[in-house]
Amino acid sequence: MINLMILLPFFFAVLIPFLHRLFNNKLHIGWLVLFLPAIIFTFLLQYIPITQAGDTWTSEMKWLPSFGLNFTAYVDGLSLLFSLLITGVGALVILYSVFYMSRQREALHNFYVYLMLFMGAMLGVVFSDNVIVLYVFWELTSISSFLLIAYWYHRRKSRDGAQKSMLITIFGGLSMLAGLLLLSIITDTYSIREMISQADSMKEHILFLPAMILILLGAFTKSAQFPFSLWLPDAMEAPTPISAYLHSATMVKAGIYLVARLTPVFGGDAIWFWTVSLVGITTLLYGSWNAVRQKDLKALLAYSTISQLGLIMSLLGLGSAAVYFGYGDESKVYAVAIMAAVFHLVNHSTFKGSLFMVVGIIDHETGTRNLQRLGGLMSLMPISFTITMIGSFSMAGLPPFNGFLSKEMFFTGVVNASGMDLFGMETLGMIFPIVAWAASVLTFVYCMILVFQTFTGAHKPELLFKVAHEPPIGMLIPPALLAIFVVVIFFFPNVLAKYILDPAFIAILPDYAAQGGLGKEISAWHGFNTELLMTIGVVLFGLVLYKLLPKWIKVFSWYPQSLTFNHIYNGALQLMESVSGMVTKKYMTGYTRDYLIYIFVFFIFIVGGSLWLFNGFTFDMSNDSPVSIYEAVMVIGMVAAATIALCSQHRLTSIIAVGALGYLVSILFVIFQAPDLALTQLVVETVTVALFLLCFYHLPELRREISKVRFKFTNMLISVGVGLTVTLLALSANGTRLFETISGYFEDSYALAGAKNIVNATLVDFRGLDTMVEVTVLCIAGLAVFTLIKVNVAGRDKK
């Protein structure tokens, strides 16, 4: 049943265009689409008691069992947590889009088709136990997100943002595929669960480190980790519902999921620990630093998302040290970071989803997201202000909001890690609490900017494109519900921990399964400790920086634009385009002769060179039949016919020579005792010659200038090279027997297929699918020709 739930969004995506055609004039199609994520979310709730009890659920659909590829859906605490976020936030986003997306001005059927494809792909990623199936869904998320980001394709920035996200995430996806294949080679399985069970034995394998690096490339690109984070701000050109869904709760969390899922495999390794931790903490600082300088609200949220993703990634890296210790008191000190990562994952989806929706409301109702145009909206949009304040203060880590709890656990994680006597942390460990505190100060600053520069100060109606007011109630319900969760989770965090967080934590650290989790309650007060002092410092120093913002914000102008990642990316892209254009012009000359030269030269060097380098030339003619006089005469006649067709100055002579060549081949088939092939050749040759004569009869006379044909040494060299390569290849293939011939199997065709003719049995029974595909291709080609003829005739009739 769980497999069906994963595939259901894809099936529904097929129906949406038809539903849109039926109901577009009557109601917003989003109301129909809303039922699907709501149903899936409700269905998934039944698994909460299962995972809370420490059990898992597996469902399998056969795909390619002979290759070990089956669609195995695996439900545990981690996959259930992500799936609830995907469907729960997805339902709220669809409800929000009903009021945000205009039924008259937008192609809603495309919007919801892309959204359903993305939802199904994300569900496939988090539930797949087979790494190949996981990769298929992973790339589907990249493709569907490309379509969503480019939804307003008439805008240049939307197209550029979609292209950038596609290039970066597809590069990471291919790297991840290579890493997963290396893991499957190490463990001889495609199952993630079986890989985890072999974690202790694979660490000394020579492919372990390459697999780790390649997989991390996929995770870092998908989750916009430094330095691959440059695609996320440009992706904000998509409509706000897409930004709220992709970049707060789902797509950017796929890389987080991958790192969390494979922590039992790679955790406890120093390279994994340092790579994930340093990349995460760097991303945290990079995102928060750049968020402060933004004047566009969605750009500010984009960089804040990068920052928060870096926070979660750094916690997963630091907490991976717990795998080294297994279960015990020392392990619990570092396992807190894993619990903090899982907790902040949920909290981020709630407060960031609500903030994206409110920013969309502000843009929808004022016509701008520019902070320099906004201000004084608190009295005009009080509900939006309240939701923004809840979400922003939660992101800043202030009570009484859920972000405060996970931020305190984050501080606990980095402080504990700084005292770690492992992986060289005794000398470099202080980097993490210092950078975490500095990034948290900047986070506090940009959260204050988001709230106060938007809603307080002087109102500037002359700079707005619309009269500011609250949106329809339906647009406020989704962000309001998320804001309510922000507050409720603060007061009842352990209810969430018991049923959702602890099972996810155990899925990441299986050693804690027997103990039922970390065994620590989440509370807002832990006494006067280092974490509390860090929080007080964040608030005090953050208030000072916010007050003095006009004085120090100019430091951003000191950094040269030529060194920004966007500038480097754009320059590299332009260089690649110019080089590829230059190379393309060299070989795309418009002359068939040049194309054939390229093809034949590469053929000679690659095939002939490979045979020569790897000692592939093997000639064994001891078992060959002797060449009879009849065969020799036929071959000489064929060569003569081909030469006449090539050198003749008259069309009729060339056609007769080509026909003679075909008939000589059919006679050769008769000598080789293959009457069915000979008959086929005769029929085809007769029809071909007749068609040639008919076509050339209607062509105009060919006027040739009388000139002497010059001998071209290059042509001769290539011709001789191709002929020699093909001859040597055929002789080597005939003289090499790596395996037993399969002809004996087909000789028993009567017993196997009930056919007395071996050729027919091979075509119909043994190669039935191949033959069917060939016939299908011919049918498609025939339909294409028929369509072109009909279009041409219709065009003439109109004239």
Confidence of residue 10 (pLDDT cuts 50, 70, 90): very high
* SS3 call for 71: strand
Q: Which residues of 17-42 are buried (b: 16+ CB within 10 A; e: fewer)?
A: eeebeeeeeeebbbebbbebbbebbe
**Mean pLDDT calculated for residue range 697-706:** 62
Confidence of residue 711 (pLDDT cuts 50, 70, 90): low
pLDDT of 578 above 50: yes
**Mean pLDDT calculated for residue range 686-699:** 83
User: Which amino acid is present at 641?
Assistant: A
Q: In the chain, where are the structural domains located?
A: 288-547, 758-799
How far apart (Å, rounded) are the C-alpha atoms in residues 415 and 398? 19
* SS3 call for 135: helix
How far apart (Å, rounded) are the C-alpha atoms in residues 450 and 247? 18
**Mean pLDDT calculated for residue range 236-256:** 84
- Beta bridge partners, 69, equal 64
**Rg of the chain, C-alpha, whole Å:** 34
- Out of 12-26, 190-204, 245-259, 471-485, the most confident range is 471-485
**Mean pLDDT calculated for residue range 512-518:** 79
Percentage helix, strand, coil for the chain under 3-state DSSP, each rounded to 5: 75, 5, 25
Residue whose structure tokens are 């919007």? 111
Q: What is the 3-state secondary structure (H, E, C) of 450-504?
A: HHHHHHCCCCCHHHCCCCCCCCCHHHHHHHHHHHHHHHHHHHCHHHHHHHHHHHH
How far apart (Å, rounded) are the C-alpha atoms in residues 774 and 219? 40
Confidence of residue 421 (pLDDT cuts 50, 70, 90): confident
In this predicted structure, what is the pLDDT of residue 751? 76
Q: What is the pLDDT of residues 470-498, one digit of tens each?
A: 999 989 999 999 999 999 999 999 999 99
Query: DSSP string spanning 558-610?
Result: GS-GGGSHHHHHHHHHHHHHHHHHHHHHHH--S-HHHHHHHHHHHHIIIIIHH
Is 84 or 676 the better-scoring residue by pLDDT? 84
In this predicted structure, what is the pLDDT of residue 377? 92
Residue 188 CB-density burial (10 A; 0-12 exposed, 13-18 middle, 19+ buried):
exposed
Lowest mean pLDDT, pick from 478-487, 562-571, 627-636, 768-777: 562-571
* SS3 call for 63: strand
Q: What is the pLDDT of residues 326-357, one digit of tens each?
A: 777 778 888 899 999 999 999 999 999 999 99
pLDDT of 703 above 70: no
How far apart (Å, rounded) are the C-alpha atoms in residues 428 and 138? 35
In this predicted structure, what is the pLDDT of residue 706? 46
Tokens of 638: 């064929």
**Mean pLDDT calculated for residue range 532-551:** 93
**Mean pLDDT calculated for residue range 199-227:** 92
- Cα of 668 vs its chain's centroid, Å: 54
Confidence of residue 613 (pLDDT cuts 50, 70, 90): confident
Nearest to 254, CA basis, from 275, 225, 234, 283 = 225
Nearest to 438, CA basis, from 561, 311, 301, 252 = 311
* SS3 call for 132: helix
Confidence of residue 701 (pLDDT cuts 50, 70, 90): low
**Mean pLDDT calculated for residue range 498-511:** 92
Confidence of residue 463 (pLDDT cuts 50, 70, 90): confident
Q: Which residues of 194-221 are buried (b: 16+ CB within 10 A; e: fewer)?
A: ebbebbeebeebeebeebbebbbbbbbb
pLDDT of 25 above 60: yes
In this predicted structure, what is the pLDDT of residue 733? 80
Nearest to 474, CA basis, from 96, 106, 112, 102 = 96
How far apart (Å, rounded) are the C-alpha atoms in residues 19 and 14? 10
Residue 723 CB-density burial (10 A; 0-12 exposed, 13-18 middle, 19+ buried):
exposed
How far apart (Å, rounded) are the C-alpha atoms in residues 221 and 219? 6
Rounded (10°) CA dihedral 570, 571, 574, 580: -120
Tokens of 87: 């469907």
**Mean pLDDT calculated for residue range 46-63:** 89
What element of type H or E holds 59?
Answer: strand 57-64
What element of type H or E holds 58?
Answer: strand 57-64
User: Which amino acid is present at 657?
Assistant: A
What element of type H or E holds 325?
Answer: helix 321-325
How far apart (Å, rounded) are the C-alpha atoms in residues 531 and 408? 6
In this predicted structure, what is the pLDDT of residue 705? 47
The answer to whether the Cα torsion of 483, 484, 488, 489 is positive or negative is negative
Is 39 or 27 the better-scoring residue by pLDDT? 39
CB atoms within 10 A of CB 241: 27
User: Which amino acid is present at 395?
Assistant: M
How far apart (Å, rounded) are the C-alpha atoms in residues 293 and 445? 10
Q: What is the pLDDT of residues 741-754, one digit of tens each?
A: 777 777 777 777 77
Query: DSSP string spanning 514-570?
Result: TTTS------S---S-HHHHHHHHHHHHHHHHHHTHHHHGGGGGGS-GGGSHHHHHH
pLDDT of 36 above 90: yes
As a whole number, the mean pLDDT across the chain is: 88
Q: CB under 8 Å to 476, separation ≥6 — which residues?
A: 361, 383, 384, 387, 470
